[in-house]
Amino acid sequence: MASRPAPAPHAGVWVVVPTYNEAANIEAISAAILAALPGATLLIVDDGSPDGTGDMADRMAAGNPLVRVRHRSAKQGLGRAYLDGFGVALAGGAAVVIQMDADWSHDPTALPSLVAPIRDGRADLVIGSRYTAGGGTQNWGLARRVISRSGSVFARTVLGLRPHDLTGGFKAWRATTLAAVPADGVRAGGYVFQIEMTYRASRGGARVVEVPILFKDRTAGQSKMSRRIVFEAFFVVLGLRWDELRGRGPTRAGSR
């Protein structure tokens, strides 16, 4: 009797990649993701990119069953794109859900190190951290370094969180932990979504682990960072803390 082929090592892992005008990156980054995690499913969530990113993703999906595409009609913010993609991954039976950018700022070769703590039973949420020992940034100006560091320090202080990198978006989630965060309660649509999701998971008792990464600035395409995003983060963090002080925040693990 012929033996059955061994299961792909990363079957059950879904990688959710939101895109908007990433035609210069999407094909190469997709190939690198699938090479780093054999057997994983790649879900591209495109917000109606006018540069044809969505069409390129469709062509990749037509030739590879491990590539899937979620089309959204318009750009509605990073957080909303992720929540949509998370819903698709969870409905598809994902055991681990990874979120990452399409612009090469998140190195696909680091993906196995994000999955390992979840597979080993040591974590429910793993953050690819620029600000833990061994992590860092590359090709950043002083202003961006200050804004990013300050944002994490501000959120850690106001919300009483332990992770050092709260503004980064390179994360791996245990599916059950992600599913326990109610999507209809998430208020943030922009980059502060990263802070809010870690906050809600932490308050729910998730074990959060940071693994070091080197964050590289994009080499193709245009950055989505803006002054509006910084102000949104400031007010959302304060709003989360204010709700908690009034007893309207997420319930802390072990309390009722």
DSSP 32-89: HHHHHSTTPEEEEEE---TTSHHHHHHHHHHH-TTEEEEE-SS---HHHHHHHHHHHH
Per the domain annotation, does 209 fall within a domain? yes
Per the domain annotation, does 256 fall within a domain? no
Per the domain annotation, does 195 fall within a domain? yes
Question: 122: which 2 tokens?
Answer: 């040591």
Task: Kindly report, residue by residue over 206-223, the tens digit of the pLDDT.
Answer: 999 999 999 987 655 455
pLDDT in the model for residue 254: 44
CB atoms within 10 A of CB 196: 23
Helix (H), strand (E) counts: the chain: 8, 9
For residue 224, pLDDT over 60 is answered with: no
Per the domain annotation, does 3 fall within a domain? no
Per the domain annotation, does 65 fall within a domain? yes
Percentage of the residues of the chain whose pLDDT score is greater than 70: 91
Question: Residue 255 contacts by C-beta under 8 Å, 6 or more apart in sequence?
Answer: none
113 vs 77: which has the higher pLDDT: 113
Q: What is the CATH number of the domain that holds 132?
A: 3.90.550.10
Query: Which range of residues forms the domain containing residue 129?
Result: 13-245
Cα separation, 87 vs 145, whole angstroms: 32
Cα separation, 172 vs 231, whole angstroms: 27
Per the domain annotation, does 196 fall within a domain? yes
Task: Kindly report, residue by residue over 129-140, the tens digit of the pLDDT.
Answer: 999 999 999 888
156 vs 228: which has the higher pLDDT: 156
Tell me if 33 sits within 8 A of 42, measured CB to CB.
yes
Per the domain annotation, does 132 fall within a domain? yes
Its sign, for the CA torsion 232, 155, 202, 11, is positive
Tell me if 82 sits within 8 A of 173, measured CB to CB.
no
Cα separation, 44 vs 176, whole angstroms: 21
Tell me if 95 sits within 8 A of 176, measured CB to CB.
no
Please count the structural domains in the chain: 1
Indicate yes or no: pTM above 0.75. Answer: yes
pLDDT in the model for residue 8: 81
Picking from 37, 176, 18, 13, the residue whose alpha carbon sits closest to that of residue 83 is: 18
Per the domain annotation, does 221 fall within a domain? yes
Farthest CA pair distance, the chain = 66
Which one-letter DSSP state was computed for residue 5? P
